[in-house]
Structure formats: structure tokens, C-alpha cells
Structure 1
Amino acid sequence: MLSHKRIRTKGKLSLTRYFQKFKTGDYVAVSQELNVPFYYVKKLQGRTGKVIEKRGDAYYVEIKDINKLKRYLIKPIHLIKIKA
């Protein structure tokens, strides 16, 4: 789990991560930004999933939990785009 940040990034909010855009079908990883509240369970940290749709400022991400697909509405500051 993330318990601390590096000294240079401590207390700073990355605006490029805050305003990043994703397309439907992009694969993303969940990475909790410690400066912004994250209201989900800790087991989501590091999980990967697929962007399903955009709703407001956030994105619906479909993540497989054991054998069941679950959909979470997550803000883009907590997401990192990955190649798949």
C-alpha cells in the first residue's frame, strides 16, 4: 500500500494526472493519490481494469474481483494508463 510519497512530490497535486483523458476501452491501473480522498477499499490499489464509460469528471472502470467483474466510478487522478 502507499504510505508515503517522495519528498519532492509530497503535498503537491499533479495537474496533468488530474485532467488526463481516457477513451472507452483503455486499460488503466488504479493508483491512489494520497492528497485526494479515495473512498474505496484498499484492495483496489494496483488493480488493472478497462474503462467502460465517462460519467461527469470520473470514469467507470471494470475490474475483475476473483471471478466477478465489478464496476467502480473512479476520478482520473487515481488512474494510470497502461499498454495492453
Structure 2
Amino acid sequence: MTRMSNGTRSGSRSKLTKKIKQRGMPKVNSLLKKFEIGETVAVVIEPAIQKGMPFHNFQGRTGKITGMQGSCYILKIKIGNTERKIISAPVHLKRLPQ
């Protein structure tokens, strides 16, 4: 009998798959994005870059940037009545209009 995998990317085939025309590495500008503390951002995971990737359940969520940790950003995301702290690289974040 086979056992189901319990890795960090299990159950995320459709979430972490790009469309055919967007496949490949992202542009350099998306790797060098800068954000200010207090900005509102959305988590849009870039599957080609695994470094600094948040867990796939946070795909599409929005939150505020509260700080930095190395080259990554710390986000506060509210899910229900709880606040979660997420650490994510800038390539996985998208700026939202204020």
C-alpha cells in the first residue's frame, strides 16, 4: 500500500502551476521589488522561485507589511479572528492600491 505525501507542496498542483505562456523564470524587476512598512500587499506565489515562498494556503490573501527579516518581508494576515505572521520574499508579493 502507498502512503500519501505530507510535504509542504502537497495538494497544491493547481495553485502552484503557471499558465503555459507564463512559464519560466520571472523578470529581474520582480526579484528586486521594494516595499514600505505599512503597505498593503497580496500574496501571489511565484512557483519558479522556492526561496522565501510562503505556505500555499496563503495564496491570494492580503496583509500589511510589518517589518523585514533579512531580504524577506514580515506580513500580518488576518484569517478569521486570528492574526498570522508570514515571512515572504518580495517576488511572492504584489502591491495593492491604497
Report the TM-score when normalising by structure 2.
0.76
Alignment match of 1:17 (pick from 5, 27, 30): 30
Greater percentage in strand: 1
State the distance in 2 between where 1:29 and 1:39 align. 12
State the distance in 2 between where 1:44 and 1:3 align. 15
Matches within 5 A, 1:53-72: 53-72=67-86
State the distance in 2 between where 1:29 and 1:58 align. 15
Are 1:52 and 2:62 an aligned pair?
no
4+ residue runs over 4 A deviation: none
Q: Which runs of 5+ in 1 are unaligned?
A: none
Please tell me whether Structure 1 or Structure 2 has the larger radius of gyration of its CA atoms.
2
CA RMSD of aligned residues (A): 1.4
State the distance in 2 between where 1:6 and 1:29 align. 23
Q: Which runs of 5+ in 2 are unaligned?
A: 1-14
Report the TM-score when normalising by structure 1.
0.87
